[in-house]
């Protein structure tokens, strides 16, 4: 088992059978000790954050797999805090795909001239480049195509999957009285047919969830969403 | 004749017949005395810049009108350095629409992780908000629609017109041995049917033109493109 990549919130190991093992860490993105799913830096370490992230990811990925929505998920080991996944090729050097139900975060900062803070958005999909040095610039369907990162056909698949999965997460949260403001996904090309599949995770670290207008932090979110075993 | 708006490079007067008069100034956008069509500040004043801008604008707008491509242009008075135009309503508080044939300027700065300096682009259209405080953020078709700035149908018309006009300007420059790298347009809603029309100007101040890999400055561009009367 070879360590092939050390990420901000998880490490990636190559398995001998061609699959990969993701080891979830207790680091979460943020700035100066304050959690922010849109941040590019590890802002703080929270004991149990890795396990909580994995637990919620397992919950959602199993649900998506059952629904026939393509993901890279194979299984998870909560004791080891690891997840086994299929091999996935990123788009270019990696994209982030955001599904927005309310105008907050970077969307609001960019479009404050028009958007009201917290204004409802109808599963608005945005794609940004993973590029810390340039602060993850948003990029259009046409530019993605012209730079050879994602074809126009793939963009439409990606966008449809994002809306679909975003709404599934939103509905699951709503069942527990929570409101999803926005959520960030990663996708990749999986399998011999290079089909587009959801990769990475679905956890409190990648979304903004609110209860009675109060932000629900990642650890709390897992507790609310998934009963302890 | 009432002064209704003072812009960076031109002033706008309301005429009694409902049309508007644009008075071209000798100021051009740039930073620290260096011309930059993508800049948001007046960088320098060049004697004759207003007249040169108007002369080239007249050349292109008359051509577009003849071709049946909608513009706000009625006529121009080179001695007074003014242009009479139809009333146009902006999209929101104003959009800039860029047509790119090579990766330079803000596109390159944003997507440097993928784009080569000067890489050919196939009339790539980008829309940005006119918002100096937020450095003219790019905005997608979906976000423009959701924020009520431009419908999806209008976006497609705007994009088609931009490609069409961008290619017309590119071809005209090519006839004189010049290469168009990128060009910035403004559009508005004109007439009782609110049809989308090109507004503002088409001049050296809004494009990057090159001859033998050397940038052609605005005054020089007009001289090359339009014979003096």
Predicted TM-score (pTM) of this structure? 0.91
Within a domain: residue B229?
Answer: no
Query: Is the CB of residue B148 less than 8 Å away from at least one CB of chain A?
Result: yes
User: Can you give the pLDDT at residue B45?
Assistant: 82
User: Can you give the pLDDT at residue B149?
Assistant: 97
Contact (Cβ atoms closer than 8 angstroms) between residue A134 and residue B110: yes
* Among the partner residues A126, A146, A149, nearest to B124 by beta-carbon distance: A146
Picking from B71, B103, B104, the residue whose alpha carbon sits closest to that of residue B88 is B71
Within a domain: residue A112?
Answer: yes
The whole-angstrom separation of Cα A25 and Cα A85 is 16
The whole-angstrom separation of Cα A225 and Cα A214 is 16
Is B95 in the same domain as B48?
A: no
Count of residues for chain A?
229
* Among the partner residues A92, A124, A143, nearest to B142 by beta-carbon distance: A124
Contact (Cβ atoms closer than 8 angstroms) between residue A54 and residue A78: yes
Residue with tokens 């996904």: A185
C-alpha atoms less than 13 angstroms from C-alpha of B61 in its C-beta half-sphere: 26
Indicate the helix (H) or strand (E) that contains B86.
Answer: none
User: Can you give the pLDDT at residue A40?
Assistant: 77
Within a domain: residue A229?
Answer: no
Give B26-38 pLDDT, tens digit per residue: 987 777 777 787 7
Number of A:B CB contacts under 8 A? 71
Contacts of B137 in chain A (CB under 8 A): 110-111
Smallest Cα distance from B133 to chain A, Å: 9
User: Can you give the pLDDT at residue A109?
Assistant: 96
Residue of B nearest to A143 (CA): B124
Is A103 in the same domain as A72?
A: no
User: Can you give the pLDDT at residue A89?
Assistant: 95
Decide if A134 and B142 are in contact by the 8 Å CB cutoff. Answer: no
User: Can you give the pLDDT at residue B1?
Assistant: 80
Choose the mutation target among A139, A147, A166 for the interface with B, i.e. most B CBs under 10 Å. A147
Decide if A137 and B110 are in contact by the 8 Å CB cutoff. Answer: yes
Is B61 in the same domain as B114?
A: no
Within a domain: residue A18?
Answer: yes
Question: What integer is the mean pLDDT of B99-104?
Answer: 98
Hey, what are A169's tokens?
């997460």
Give A173-218 pLDDT, tens digit per residue: 999 999 999 999 999 999 999 999 999 999 999 999 999 999 999 9
Within a domain: residue B169?
Answer: yes
The whole-angstrom separation of Cα A119 and Cα A131 is 27
Percent of chain B past pLDDT 70, that is, above it, reads: 99
Is A28 in the same domain as A137?
A: no
The whole-angstrom separation of Cα B1 and Cα B21 is 9
Cα angle: A118, vertex A119, A125; to 5 degrees: 100
Is A102 in the same domain as A73?
A: no
Residue of B nearest to A137 (CA): B110
The region, left, alpha or beta by phi > 0 then psi within -120 to 50, assigned to residue B31 is beta
ipTM of the complex: 0.89
Residue with tokens 């966008």: A159
Where is pLDDT greater, at B89 or A228?
B89
Is A199 in the same domain as A212?
A: yes
Within a domain: residue B168?
Answer: yes
3-state SS, one letter per residue, for chain A: CEEEEECCCEEEEECCCCCEEEEECCEEEEECCEECCCCCCEEEECCCHHHHHHHHHHHHHHHHHHCCCCECEEEEECCCCEEEECCEECCCCCEEEEEEEECCHHHHHHCCCCCCCCCEEEEEEEEEECCHHHCCCECCHHHHHHCCCCCHHHHHHHHHHHHHHHHHHHHHHHHCCCEEEEEEEEEEEECCCCEEEEECCCCHHHEEEEECCEEECHHHHHHHHCCCC
Is A125 in the same domain as A199?
A: yes
Cα angle: B131, vertex B137, B139; to 5 degrees: 115
SS3 B82: strand
Percent of chain B past pLDDT 90, that is, above it, reads: 85
Decide if B147 and A93 are in contact by the 8 Å CB cutoff. Answer: no
Query: Whole-angstrom distance between the N-terminal and C-terminal Cα of chain B?
Result: 28
Decide if A146 and B110 are in contact by the 8 Å CB cutoff. Answer: no
What total number of domains does chain A contain? 2
Give A9-62 pLDDT, tens digit per residue: 899 999 999 999 999 999 877 777 777 877 777 777 888 899 999 999 999 999
Is B76 in the same domain as B29?
A: yes
Where is pLDDT greater, at A2 or B27?
A2
Smallest Cα distance from A82 to chain B, Å: 31
User: Can you give the pLDDT at residue B179?
Assistant: 98
Domain end among A49, A65, A88 = A88
Decide if B146 and A138 are in contact by the 8 Å CB cutoff. Answer: no
The whole-angstrom separation of Cα A90 and Cα B148 is 33
> Which residues 6+ apart lie within 8 Å of B163 measured at CB?
B99, B123, B125
Query: Is the CB of residue A117 less than 8 Å away from at least one CB of chain B?
Result: no
Is B218 in the same domain as B163?
A: yes
Is B217 in the same domain as B104?
A: yes
User: Can you give the pLDDT at residue B40?
Assistant: 77
Domain end among B28, B62, B88 = B88
Hey, what are B216's tokens?
């052609």
The count of other CB atoms within 10 Å of the CB of residue B202 is 26
User: Can you give the pLDDT at residue B228?
Assistant: 57
The whole-angstrom separation of Cα B194 and Cα B154 is 11
User: Can you give the pLDDT at residue A228?
Assistant: 58
Percent of chain A past pLDDT 90, that is, above it, reads: 85
Is A131 in the same domain as A158?
A: yes
Strands (DSSP E) contained in chain B are: 2-6, 10-14, 20-24, 27-31, 34-35, 42-45, 73-77, 82-85, 88-89, 95-102, 120-129, 179-190, 195-199, 207-211, 214-216
Within a domain: residue A159?
Answer: yes
Smallest Cα distance from B115 to chain A, Å: 7
Within a domain: residue B213?
Answer: yes
User: Which CATH number does the domain housing residue A65 bear?
Assistant: 3.30.200.20
Query: Is the CB of residue A112 less than 8 Å away from at least one CB of chain B?
Result: yes
User: Can you give the pLDDT at residue A36?
Assistant: 82
Is A170 in the same domain as A184?
A: yes
User: Which CATH number does the domain housing residue A113 bear?
Assistant: 3.30.470.20
The whole-angstrom separation of Cα A212 and Cα B24 is 54
Contacts of B95 in chain A (CB under 8 A): none
Give A118-146 pLDDT, tens digit per residue: 999 999 999 999 999 999 999 999 999 99
**pLDDT of A229 higher than 60:** no
Domain end among A70, A88, A106 = A88
Domain that holds residue A220: 90-224
Give A69-81 pLDDT, tens digit per residue: 999 999 999 999 9
């Amino acid at each position: 088992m070879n360590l092939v990549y050390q990420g901000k919130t998880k490490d990636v190991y190559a398995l001998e059978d061609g699959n990969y093992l993701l080891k979830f860490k207790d680091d979460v993105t943020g700035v100066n000790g304050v959690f922010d799913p849109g941040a590019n830096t590890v802002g703080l370490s929270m004991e149990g954050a890795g396990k909580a992230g994995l637990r919620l990811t397992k919950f959602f990925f199993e649900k998506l797999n059952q629904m026939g929505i393509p993901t890279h998920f194979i299984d998870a080991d909560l004791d080891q805090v690891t997840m086994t996944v299929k091999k996935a090729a990123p788009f270019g050097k990696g994209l982030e795909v955001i599904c927005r139900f309310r105008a907050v975060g970077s969307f609001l900062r960019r479009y404050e001239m028009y958007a009201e803070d917290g204004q409802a958005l109808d599963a608005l999909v945005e794609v940004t480049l993973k590029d810390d040095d340039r602060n993850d610039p948003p990029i259009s369907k046409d530019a993605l195509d012209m730079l050879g990162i994602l074809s126009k056909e793939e963009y439409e698949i990606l966008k449809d999957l994002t809306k679909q999965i975003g709404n599934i997460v939103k509905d699951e949260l709503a069942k527990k009285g929570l409101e999803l403001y926005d959520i960030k996904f990663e996708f990749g090309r999986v399998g011999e047919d290079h089909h587009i599949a959801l990769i990475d995770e679905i956890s409190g670290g990648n979304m903004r969830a609110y209860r009675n207008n109060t932000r629900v932090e990642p650890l709390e979110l897992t507790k609310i969403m998934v009963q302890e075993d």
